[in-house]
Amino acid sequence: MAPHHVLKCCQRSLAWIPVIFINLVVGWSYYAYVVELCIFTIPNNAEKISYLVVFHLFFIMFIWSYWKTICSRPASPSKEFCLAKVEKEQYEKEQPDAQQNILKKAAVGLPVYTRTGTGAVRYCDHCQVIKPDRCHHCSTCDMCVLKMDHHCPWVNNCVGFSNYKFFVLFLAYSMLYCVFIAATVLQYFIKFWTNQLPDTHAKFHVLFLFFVAAMFFISILSLFSYHLWLVGKNRTTIEAFRAPVFRNGPDKNGFSLGFSRNVVEVFGDQKKYWMFPIYTSFSEFTHKLVHM
């Protein structure tokens, strides 16, 4: 038991390395932009102030949404989806066919409409719960996660029902953060490259800042576009690769409510809160699925 416990602790510690890496890059980008570019390189005060104001706006929204994604605990199935003690004991003694009969009876009063590929009621033996629709077990988080999209190593967390809005906003603001840096640094990047500015220690930071911002922007753009498509279709990454199976068979559009309602499913009913990484009211449809 002791070696297994130590191994688990090591795995949990190592899982934070991508998060630490991202924060180190962001910390350096802040120093390089604010100190090396704005304070030491840009001579025009009006330009300097305008750059700093917009930069800090994107920076705050980016960090806010990023840490909200990290710190939001994944939502797990409520106790209504757990088998009663008697049912659980009986389930453990029976053969697969009899086990399915027990699960079917237990699932009668639950809002469960999806099935396994063979038409069986979805059940997690590890968590010992009947899986709600769109719920999947994450081996990394060691729990069943509602509306699981994927486990993201860059936030060391599962992206799902509780933080998908924050994740999409994190991608959006990180992309805006990178494109703003690249666009405003470009003219000074060219001046340093063509030796129009003095060769100081700021040169390295400005040149490297442009390359890093442009590289991250290109990589994030494709991921952000993909998740915007998923939001419009009301699908998760898992469902995009494997269509959910209902009682009448697989249906890749089984959860789609139309584009506008699909967006509301993720961002909430009040548009004034869409751009902020805060909890917002979910649509009536989602409310029923979670609380029935």
Q: Residue 122 in 3-state DSSP?
A: coil
Q: For the purposes of burial, counting CB atoms within 10 Å of the CB of 64, is it exposed (0-12), middle (13-18) or buried (19 or more)?
A: middle
DSSP state of 83: P
Non-local CB neighbours of 270 within 8 Å, separated by 6+ positions: 280, 281
152 is catalytic: yes
Strands (E), 50-141: 114-115, 123-124, 129-130, 136-138
3-state secondary structure of 177: helix
- Catalytic-labelled residue, pool 135, 144, 152, 178: 152
Residue 103 and residue 121 in contact, taking contact as beta carbons nearer than 8 Å: yes
* Max CA pair span of the chain: 80
- The three-class DSSP label of residue 275 is coil
Catalytic annotation, residues: 152
